[in-house]
Amino acid sequence: MSIKETIRSRRSIKQFNGEPVSEKEVLSVLEDAVWAPNHGVREPWRFVVAADDGKARLLDILKEQTIGPKWKDMQQDEVAKAMQKFTNVGAFVFVIVPEDARQKERLEDFAAASALIQNAQLLAWEMGIGTCWKTPVFLDHPKFREALHVHRGERIVGMLQFGHFDIVPKGKERTPIEEKITRL
Beta strand residue intervals within the chain, DSSP E: 46-50, 91-98, 130-134, 154-163
Is there a contact between 1 and 126 (Cβ–Cβ < 8 Å)? yes
Binding site annotation covers 133?
yes
- Map residue 106 onto helix, strand or coil: helix
Measured distance CA(75)–CA(82) in Å, rounded: 11
Measured distance CA(52)–CA(37) in Å, rounded: 30
Binding site annotation covers 39?
yes
Q: Give the closest residue to 66 by CA, choosing from 84, 41, 52.
A: 84
Which residues make beta-bridge pairs with 159? 94, 134
Binding site annotation covers 145?
no
Binding site annotation covers 135?
yes
Binding site annotation covers 10?
yes
Measured distance CA(23)–CA(95) in Å, rounded: 15
Binding site annotation covers 125?
no
Which residues are annotated binding-site positions for FMN?
Answer: 10-12, 39, 133-135
Which residues are annotated binding-site positions?
Answer: 10-12, 39, 133-135
